[in-house]
Amino acid sequence: MAQERWTVLKVLKWTTEHFQEKGMENPRLEAEVLLAHLLGVDRVGLYLNYDKPLKEEERKAYREMIQRRTAREPVAYILGYKEFWSLRFKVGPECLIPRPETEHLVEETLRLAAQEHLSLPLRILEIGTGCGAMAVALAKELKEAHIVATDISPHALSLAKENAQAHGVGERIKFVQGDLFPPGEAPFCLIISNPPYIITEDLFQLAPEVKDYEPLDALDGGGNGLRFFREIAQGSSGYLIKGGWLLLEMGEGQAPKVTNILEEVGFTHIELVPDYAGVKRVIRTQRE
């Protein structure tokens, strides 16, 4: 009996149907992304090789990827990387996967960095860098900037350093292990952070891809989700130059409460920036 011929097209169709049965949101897209990664081509390359049969070792490796995804492991962890700011970052369970919404924080930081009143050299602090995506993106865009990035996790910092080296900016970012602010550093022109902001009791309502795989301490914002906003707001004035800016990413519906926190510690010039879905995603405030 002739052995069944599993072409690229046949494998994709089977995987798409399998993912649909398992309730995946983007079954065809994920099937294509995983197979393209395995075969070392882009998704267009799959279309150009629909009739190509998979080798047995390719089928075995793809089955393992399908099993991992069916167990709801995030695609980024299976691939080992995630795109952010048109750059590829190595990711793993030691850090959060960069989200597209966080690119708004990079955009706003670049917009403010262009202001003439900010003193040179331009010093930027990122609190909670994770895999280093924001710090690296800013280092690529701002060639003269001095960037310090902190994280409480030594494993996340190790990954961030690896990503910085891979993108050629390892010597321009100072990575510091610690909780929030780096002691002994001179004041910064800009302080940015995408802090944990999920309410603790809501963590276990998150999608399995998040709650079962990503580090929950990088998501847990305390009983009301506002713990780190308060701590950063209280500590930032001692680390900002006069006229410097604090920029924070927020969750949906948190803008009024975060605004109140900033006002309580003396910030007055507060602006809200929506994302493409209209959610007030970034809050920025200036030290007068």
- The separation between the first and the last C-alpha atoms of the chain, rounded to the nearest angstrom, is 80
**How far, in Å, CA of 80 to CA of 7, rounded?**
25
269-274, strands of its sheet edge to edge:
173-177, 146-151, 123-127, 188-193, 240-249, 280-286, 269-274
In angstroms and rounded to an integer, the radius of gyration of the C-alpha atoms of the chain is: 22
Q: Which domains does the chain have, with CATH numbers?
A: 8-71 (1.10.8.10), 95-286 (3.40.50.150)
Written as tens digits, the pLDDT of the chain (288 aa) is: 335 688 889 999 999 999 999 988 899 999 999 999 999 888 888 888 888 888 999 999 999 999 999 999 999 999 999 999 999 999 999 999 999 999 999 999 999 998 766 667 899 999 999 999 999 999 999 998 999 999 999 999 999 999 999 999 999 999 999 989 998 888 999 999 999 999 999 998 999 999 999 999 999 999 899 999 999 999 998 899 988 899 999 999 999 999 999 999 888 889 999 988 888 999 999 887
Q: Helices marked H in 87-153 — which ranges?
A: 103-113, 133-141
Measuring CA to CA, which residue among 205, 168, 165, 211 is closest to residue 73? 211
